[in-house]
Structure 1
């Protein structure tokens, strides 16, 4: 067991729910952060098996600083200590080319994802400093290393999240605080699963599959394994790093 509870921001999404299931056996509890659906958060908790009783559904709206502050207060009162914060939140992002992206689309993803993450960091740091330890793991994107056309709305704010994560690692390490990132490739979970069903043709996805060294798309569980490692004490001397989990897509 790692000390404290895991707070998963965006815990009801395809990747977020897989992360909750992976973390549940190793932490004192899991706070399943959700924005709009308590029922979805409770459904995720129901999948945690014997650790379901140690989980809590916690409302956490990334666009609302007060909601985030209340969420961390709720988690600390429930568990006594927050050991890791996983940032897997975001918006449902289409795949337009840059020339077709409207300014309001940029504002939405920057507000919810990049500024939302900055709010999470600001809320979590006092708890981590008080405990003398803690870590962030953010789910970002392989697009910042191997850009697929149409992915700018997703990759641009996540590049900012990576930069902020490295800043946190450098400045807060003296307080025992770590920050790392996981960059998924093409994953058959969450928004990725929707894209595989609705975006492009099966022939295009088959061509993409063949570009991957391991010749297959990834799973939510495989991303969750990487997150679980970086969040744990097994990675206690790793900070400021991005772990690319893409089966060799970016090679």
Structure 2
């Protein structure tokens, strides 16, 4: 088992909940960060099996630094140490072309995702430095390597998150702190699952599926496995990297 607890920001989402389930058996505990629904967070806890007794729901509003700091304080009080912070939160967005995106839309997604991540980093780093260990794993997007039209609202802030992750890796490695990213492809979970049923026609999605080397869309477990690896001691000499988990979509 890895040292300390896992703090999952966005733990109630489709990918976040899969990540919580995967991490529950590998860490001393799991803090499930939620913004608005404690009931959803409790619902995720109820799926953790034997890990339920080592999981807590923690309010974590990315727009409120006080909420984030309170969440970390609560998790540290419960578990003693926080070994990894997973950033799996995002805005529920559509997929407009760049010419159709208004300033308010840009501000919303950048505020919640990119600025929200900077707040998470600011809150977590003092704990990691005091412990002498800790790592970040951020869920970003394959669109920064193989751009599908209409994905700018999602990919632009995540490019910033990747850049900040590399900065953390370079500057904080001397303190035993790592930072890595996972870039999902087309995933049948969370917002991706909604897109598969509401965006484009079945024929278009079938054509996209055939573009994928492994000939299938991914699922939440595929992403959770990659996150669990990078967060764990198995990846102790990996930092500043982005692991693309897309079945070969971007080849």
What TM-score, normalized by structure 2, do the two folds share? 1.00
Pairs within 5 Å for 1:1-251: 1-251=1-251
Query: What's the offset of the Cα at 1:199?
Result: 0.5
3-state SS of paired residue (1:86):
strand
Unaligned runs of 5+ in 2: none
In the alignment, the residues of structure 2 paired with residue 75 and residue 199 of structure 1 have an alpha-carbon distance, to the nearest angstrom, of: 38
Residue-by-residue CA offset, 1:193-240 (whole Å, 9 max, x unaligned): 000010000000001001000010001001000000000000000000
Query: What's the offset of the Cα at 1:90?
Result: 1.1
3-state SS of paired residue (2:24):
helix
In the alignment, the residues of structure 1 paired with residue 113 and residue 138 of structure 2 have an alpha-carbon distance, to the nearest angstrom, of: 11
Unaligned runs of 5+ in 1: none
Query: What's the offset of the Cα at 1:93?
Result: 1.2
3-state SS of paired residue (2:28):
coil
In the alignment, the residues of structure 2 paired with residue 169 and residue 93 of structure 1 have an alpha-carbon distance, to the nearest angstrom, of: 29
In the alignment, the residues of structure 1 paired with residue 64 and residue 72 of structure 2 have an alpha-carbon distance, to the nearest angstrom, of: 13
3-state SS of paired residue (1:25):
coil
In the alignment, the residues of structure 1 paired with residue 239 and residue 181 of structure 2 have an alpha-carbon distance, to the nearest angstrom, of: 9
In the alignment, the residues of structure 2 paired with residue 3 and residue 199 of structure 1 have an alpha-carbon distance, to the nearest angstrom, of: 42
Residue-by-residue CA offset, 1:62-91 (whole Å, 9 max, x unaligned): 011110010000000010000000000111
Q: What is the aligned residue count? A: 251
In the alignment, the residues of structure 2 paired with residue 124 and residue 27 of structure 1 have an alpha-carbon distance, to the nearest angstrom, of: 17
Residue-by-residue CA offset, 1:45-72 (whole Å, 9 max, x unaligned): 0000011010000000001111001000
Question: Segments of 4+ in structure 1 off by > 2 A?
Answer: none
In the alignment, the residues of structure 2 paired with residue 178 and residue 94 of structure 1 have an alpha-carbon distance, to the nearest angstrom, of: 32
